[in-house]
Structure 1
């Protein structure tokens, strides 16, 4: 067994750390080492990263809105609503007129095509599957046509719009998202037309003067609301183009029917409406060829709408600014579609990983519990001590006056029968912590005073002064149950075990924040540690309760002050040195959790930042033999860093789909996750002997607590990347266990005895 003064021979790592990781100068409790020295102003937390985060969120929101606007509105053409009501004299005149409307302040005028002239028109494109086939068929017969394009599809397939123009065909405006103009407010109608013109300008460098309202047909079918929309089109300078012959090919009536409905009677001219997008257009493509063969044989010419009427081309060159704006719009739409598509797959993968992780860890927890019930370890029966070995308990304390006496009493009142030494290491407290611990006058308790140097320095002092090989470390705001020390020590009977993690429980769980942390401790911490033991990738033996071999700590150079998560850093170092780290669920420690969101933020900010530091420090473990590095660091990177970074976008998509789309899928997915979490939580609570009634707060966790946790991750990563040296964040103690009536909770009874109802 190591002697008490071997600590003097500890060798500290000499390799320099990155600036964001080096905290040896001020890793303590925001107090200088020399009280006479001037107090340096503590570094401020970085604030500037919230602006880039807000910008990123706004860009993501804009991408989702743009993609949603396009994909949720664009649809296949349907039959226009029937004309109802008594038409005005003006509308009655339009219904009797031709398909091309020039609507001015002096009244509407219409035009018909001359005899043996056909203007084939195609709506809803361009489409990568069908538009090229239509163009090929037109080229085969030397015909020209007019394509009333949807702006969002022009933006998506600009090369098809350019091909239409290059082959001598004409473009028309069919709105940006195939919206029903009869149902749109004035601002939306103007937006639909303007966006389409910009898309055309970006793709082809042209604007168009032709427009066709979606869901329109022949003049005779115009309804009152449609007429109002057409007048709005005319007010924007468009020539409204309807049709003489509506083939209704969108309904896929068969090639023969499409051909029959496309042929004018008695040599008349006609505007013929077909579609080159919006669904399966195989029948349309076949019909185009048949129609052109018949019309050519009958002496018809197939030309564009403006040429058929002897008018100037509908194409007008767009200005440089319009072309630039159009190109930007088209690029933004394609980027938003790509972003939404990639994000959907990423979120699907993230959801699958999250659910899979919960299920996998629940299974491993069951295996761990079953193995422990049988008193077995991996191979054979677990070794036992022939007699209770001597133990030293180290309590590092800085300004723990509120709870130090309850902590020390719980240690002294243990049922452990071996030699026990309790060292309270006061790290320069200013609130009388040392005096309170000393005043108890309890046997086996020794108070050591030292200048403030931080928790690692206090622990190392305790290690140096310890008289025994087996060490237990406990925070000054934590109380042990009587059997806890014995449960911890029994695991160290295995000479391969270098450290033991106990079962930390929240003592002050009455408020909502306390209840949330209670659920998190049971599900997120204690359930996970069962799995980590089986996978040989234990990341943290918590500072609140952990047992160690002194010789293992001495070999590592003691507790390092390189990070703000000294417990994680130490655990990773032990695993890399070849020691097994196990979990003892019966070793219960009751800790005081933060009682406000601000205090919780400070605690988790330090934890998360320190964990990132420890991951960086031990990054070479990934290349070392054994499973620890790849499993532990891979798990932490995926589930503790990357997935939380996606959480804001998940919430953004949920809000967007709930407000602007169908909320049922969002509610169903959310409910599914809550159910999976609840089932996992129920099993975790059952393993820990807790009441399942605590799960009622789980759904509420999704609306405040979850957001706080992922913002902590973002803040921590920003702090690290910006190279800011984070100061130690102290948490205000409430004295949860200071009341003599609540000095220690009643034994919980992991084996199924008494269960805790509510602990103050």
Structure 2
């Protein structure tokens, strides 16, 4: 596709092809300027010829034009006249049926080059391409190789001067006969080569000329001068020509499709950002008024069980546990499930020495199994799930469980922030968490379609989890799967932005790729598993039609088209209007920057982080596109991706200001 688009742009939009010719620095040779309009150069030197008396060779430049070429052909048929059509190779490749009709109705075909660029101004590569590609297009459409050439931007023989004469000699050396036109002072009765374009004006002038009583015969150039207009082509040449026609058709179809796709995708992108801001504002307004968990509801103070599944988490497990123990929430049970770790995760957890911490060991069985093991050991009705690389703010648990005061709420998502922001990759993820994830969650709450309670920080009713069969291992995104299952069971899921937890994000491309590949793969699995929600009624149906549709469009469809759209945007800069293309791109970026700035403000983050966003759009976004593409391809091929974890460094608490009892030094 990229090659076809590049070819379309390079040829059709005349890259390296001049649309105007320079002034002649030297006149045409006397033999040419004073001779007939048909010029040949061979071993005998320059030879010219003119049409016999009362004979007119009608010639039409450019095209074939889908509007005027058929009308001209009809006019010629009505008058039993023949003509020579000097075609653009690019147009011949686009309209092969018209080329075949010209040939089938007894008319003659010559070359007007591929794009109509001035040959005298063309580079050597462009010069050859203009002639050779036209021959290929004619070979693919009609199986001929023409010997006739009309130099673009020339009329009468005396215009073959300066650089155009140099180009004419190069073309003649390749066997072409050059066909110009007689000057306007020459009369049809003297014999005439008449030059027309393929337009409405040319149609009228041709119609008038065909009624001239002083002309006995309207014929082709070769018939009037007894020339050999064509040479046979080999099967290989015809095959190459056919390939050119297909490449042109593909490139043009792709270009047209991308024009529509880019417009639709751009509109959806702008609409999405407008919706995010609108619903984020609506979310802020409803926080203190009518949402479940508002201050006018009872305060939740029931005991809480915290599940911390861990596999080889010695770098951060102590920080996580100590942050939970430092919580201002009064009654906690902390259950660390060691899922067959091969490092000192269990020993470090037990070494904390607090009676509220229970360490449960099991053979390695995966995160879902570890969470189900933890559920079996819980003593309380409210369960919080925490990743072992996450550090909680002291008031996070209190804020997180308050929405559960409403009996219809089955789960609550907390606000996950990036703790380790020192590197460029981490800064990009920080922007993504604020602008992407958290704005999405605000919108999801207003629309009642929260798609994921993240594994880093989420509160659940224990009976709600057990009611859907516990935590499933059907997908690699067990948190998304569980959230969707709760919606389908009739529970509501909310977002509590004041419940803040700091998480550690990947700091290498390899680790980031593995993490996002797992996330994306698991999300698509969950979407497919719960696709039936789209047809259901009530809470489940609203979630399915809103949440799943949103995910399908913005996390699957648009990312799949993302690389293609970016390539087409580059195509616009290179081959179309660079200012307009660049203006659209920068305009879209400006809108994203404004939305991201609003998201950072809502999250209480520094707006100066926006300096990193343009680089994120250029580099980081491409990586996310590729992750989605790989995930979709893997699913279509039936691949079974294993659960993967990233290597921890214990830096989740880096952003917490001031001394913290749960900041730890990474374990070697």
What TM-score do the two structures reach when normalised by structure 2?
A: 0.94
What's 2:488 paired with?
A: 576
| Deviations 1:338-371 (CA, angstroms, capped at 9, x unpaired) | 1111122112111111111011111001100111
Matches within 5 A, 1:267-286: 267-276=189-198, 281-286=199-204
What SS does structure 2 have at the residue aligned with 1:98?
coil
1:481 CA drift (Å): 0.7
Matched, 1:339 2:277: no
Structure 1 residue aligned with 2:542? 627
The 5 Å alignment of 1:306-317 reads 306-309=222-225, 311-317=226-232
Q: Distance in 1 between matches of 2:300 and 2:572?
A: 64
Give the conservation status (yes or no) of the 8 Å contact 1:382–1:494. no
Match of 1:359 among 267, 274, 280: 274
- Counterparts of 2:359 and 2:104, CA distance in 1: 90
Q: Matches of residues 417-432 of structure 1 in structure 2 within 5 Å?
A: 417=330, 419-432=331-344
Q: 1:131-187 deviations in whole A, cap 9, x for unaligned? A: 122222222322221111111111111222222222222111111111211112334
Structure 1 residue 122 displacement after superposition: 0.7
Equivalent pair of 2:283/2:443 in contact (CA under 8 Å): yes
TM alignment of 1:590-629, pairs within 5 A? 590-625=502-537, 626-629=541-544
Partner residue of 1:411 out of 288, 300, 324: 324
- For the 8 Å contact 2:141–2:242, the answer to whether it is kept is yes
State the partner residue of 1:9: none
- Is structure 2 residue 303 aligned with structure 1 residue 390? yes
Who is 2:562 aligned against? Answer: 647
- 1:67: Cα distance to partner? 1.7
Q: 1:240 to 1:386 in 2, by over 3 A?
A: closer
Residue in structure 1 matching 2:105, options 167, 179, 189? 167
Root-mean-square deviation (CA), in Å? 2.5
Shift of 1:680: 0.6
Unaligned runs of 5+ residues in structure 1 are 1-59, 246-261, 748-760
The equivalent of 2:591 in structure 1 is 676
Alignment of 1:539-550 (within 5 A): 539-550=451-462
The answer to whether the 8 A contact 1:481-1:745 is kept is: no
Q: 2:157 aligned to 219, 243, 253, which one?
A: 219
Kept in 2, the 8 Å contact 1:405–1:738? The answer is no
Say whether the 8 Å CA contact 1:406–1:744 is kept in structure 2: no
Residue aligned with 2:476, SS: coil
Shift of 1:378: 5.1
| Mean CA deviation greater in 729-738 or 175-184 | 729-738
Measure, in 2, the Cα distance between the counterparts of 1:387 and 1:640. 35
- The 1-side partners of 2:312 and 2:26 are apart by 86
Counterpart for residue 264 of structure 1: 186
Contact 1:207/1:315, CA 8 A, preserved across alignment:
yes
Equivalent pair of 2:136/2:241 in contact (CA under 8 Å): yes
Contact 1:499 1:548 in 2 (8 A): yes
**After alignment, is 217-226 or 563-572 more displaced?**
217-226
| 8 Å Cα contact 1:402-1:738 kept in structure 2 | no
Tell whether 2:641 aligns with 1:723: no
Give the aligned partner of residue 141 of structure 2.
203
CA-CA distance at 1:108 after TM superposition = 0.9
Distance in 2 (alpha carbons) for counterparts of 1:154 and 1:718: 38
Partner of 1:298: 214
Residue correspondence of structure 1 range 116-265 to structure 2 within 5 A: 116-245=54-183, 264-265=186-187
Bigger drift between 602-611 and 643-652 goes to 643-652
Please say if residues 18 and 121 of structure 2, whose CA atoms lie closer than 8 Å, have aligned partners that are also in contact.
no
**8 Å Cα contact 2:293/2:402 also seen in 1:** no
Q: Quick one: distance in 1 between partners of 2:660 and 2:166? A: 76
The aligned residue for residue 402 of structure 1 is 315
Question: How much has 1:415 moved relative to structure 2?
Answer: 1.7
Moved more, 569-578 or 407-416: 407-416
Matches of 1:427 and 1:265, distance apart in 2 = 98
CA distance in 1, matches of 2:512, 2:26: 69
Matches within 5 A, 1:428-447: 428-447=340-359
| Bigger mean CA offset, 567-576 vs 175-184 | 175-184
8 Å CA contact retained: 1:480, 1:744: no
SS at match of 2:307: strand
Would you say the 8 A contact 1:406–1:743 is kept in 2? Answer: no
* Cα pair distance change 1:568/1:266, threshold 3 Å: closer
* Deviations, residues 622-643 of structure 1 (Å, cap 9, x unaligned): 2222211122221111111111
Residue of structure 2 equivalent to 1:665 = 580
Alpha-carbon contact 1:99-1:244 (below 8 Å) kept: yes
Deviation at 1:503, TM superposition (A): 0.2
Aligned counterparts of 1:106 and 1:149: Cα–Cα separation in 2: 29
Q: How does 1:452-463 map to 2 (within 5 A)?
A: 452-463=364-375
Which residue matches 2:666?
none
Q: Does the Cα contact within 8 Å between 1:99 and 1:219 map onto a contact in 2? A: yes
* Structure-2 separation of matches of 1:504 and 1:290: 79
Stretches of structure 2 that go unaligned for 5 or more consecutive residues are 663-668
State the secondary structure of the residue aligned to 1:115.
coil
Tell me which of the two structures has the higher relative contact order, counting C-alpha pairs closer than 8 angstroms and 6 or more residues apart: 1
**In the TM superposition, what is the alpha-carbon distance from 1:691 to its structure 2 partner?**
1.1
Q: 1:494 to 1:265 in 2, by over 3 A?
A: same
Aligned length in residues: 659
Q: CA deviation at 1:565?
A: 0.7
CA contact (8 A) 2:502 2:652 kept: no
Given that 2:55 and 2:218 are in contact with CA atoms closer than 8 Å, whether structure 1 keeps it comes out as yes
Does the CA-based 8 Å contact 1:470-1:548 persist in structure 2? yes
- Once the two structures are superposed, residues 594-617 of structure 1 have per-residue CA deviations (whole angstroms, 9 ceiling, x without a partner) of 111111111111111111111121
From 362, 382, 393, the equivalent of 1:450 is: 362
Contact kept in structure 1, 2:299 and 2:405, CA below 8 Å: no
Q: 1:506–1:590: 8 Å Cα contact kept in structure 2?
A: yes
TM-score normalised to structure 1 length: 0.83
3-state secondary structure, aligned to 1:216: coil
Please say if residues 26 and 161 of structure 2, whose CA atoms lie closer than 8 Å, have aligned partners that are also in contact.
no
Deviation of the 1:592 alpha carbon: 0.8
Q: Are 1:567 and 2:442 an aligned pair?
A: no
Query: Against the structure 1 CA distance between its residues 235 and 437, is the aligned structure 2 distance closer, same or farther, given a 3 Å change threshold?
Result: same
Distance 1:745 1:504 in 2: 18
Q: CA deviation at 1:205?
A: 2.5
1:516 corresponds to 2:456:
no
> What is the aligned partner in structure 1 of residue 205 from structure 2?
287
| Inter-CA distance 77–263: structure 2 relative to 1 (3 Å threshold) | farther
**Distance between the aligned counterparts of 2:506 and 2:529, measured in 1?**
28
> Could you tell me how far 1:337 is from its partner in structure 2?
0.7
Contact 1:425–1:449 under 8 Å retained in 2: yes
- 2:242 is the counterpart of 1:318: no
CA 1:381/1:512 → structure 2, altered by over 3 Å: closer, same or farther?
Answer: closer
Question: Could you say what secondary structure the match of 2:322 adopts?
Answer: helix
